[in-house]
Amino acid sequence: MNKYSTFLLGIATVWWVGCQSNLSQSDYIDWVQDYDNDLRAHKKVGDYFFDLQYQPPEYLQLLRQYNGEATEKSPSSTVADDLQYYKLEIGMSDGATDFINYGIESMADKQRKIYYLSYTFQNDIYLREAEETLPCILFHFERSIDLKSGRTFMLAFENKFKGNQEAQLIIDSPLFGGVPIKIKVSKTNIPNLEV
């Protein structure tokens, strides 16, 4: 074996061991939220930004524990394995304009927009996996009263293709123009959580 082959084998071994490492709870949360690990993606389209975060079951369970909603190993701390969860934030690219008020000319327009985002928007969101398009089956619009310009949507889709490595969220909404918005996330190399 020459030096070059030995070097490549060494790098591959380090990479494989690194991918299989166990992370502490706080490191695991940081890892999942890091854009560099591809479970989270940020996209700018026109005046809007879209931030999509895939949320593995272990990650959701940790968030529930940190928020005091569940104790370790309690039935309420488990996350349904037949669903996959995503957090979507939509806001304005300038970071200052309120997403809800953007393009609004009257109070009636604002009420229609809030109604659409609260209920009908779910019908315009899909997940593409393994050449199949899945509808959004659980949807929650977080209507915040804080001063942040973006808004958060919690989404769940059927976990029909367990172990699938990639997913693409598709937003086909008249609110953002005529072209569907596509955001891809990877679900590979998720580290193990330290027990």
Instruction: Give one word for 121, left, alpha or beta, with left for phi > 0 and alpha for psi -120 to 50.
Output: alpha
Q: Give 58's contacts (C-beta < 8 A, 6+ positions apart).
A: 28, 193
For each of the domains in the chain, give its residue range(s) and CATH number, in order of start. Answer: 24-193 (2.60.40.10)
Q: Give 189's contacts (C-beta < 8 A, 6+ positions apart).
A: 19, 37
Instruction: Count the neighbouring beta carbons within 10 Å of the beta carbon of residue 49.
Output: 19
Q: Give 20's contacts (C-beta < 8 A, 6+ positions apart).
A: 191, 192
* Tens digit of each residue's pLDDT (9 = 90 or more) over 8-57: 444 443 344 445 568 899 899 999 999 999 999 999 999 999 999 999 99
pLDDT at 68: 66
Q: Which one, of 138, 168, 141, lies nearest residue 152 by Cα?
A: 141
Q: How many CA atoms lie within 13 A of 168 on its CB side?
A: 11
* Tens digit of each residue's pLDDT (9 = 90 or more) over 65-81: 877 655 444 444 456 67
Reading the block at residue 111, the tokens are 């009420």
Cα(102)–Cα(111) distance, rounded to whole angstroms? 13
* Tens digit of each residue's pLDDT (9 = 90 or more) over 144-161: 776 677 899 999 999 998
Cα(113)–Cα(167) distance, rounded to whole angstroms? 28
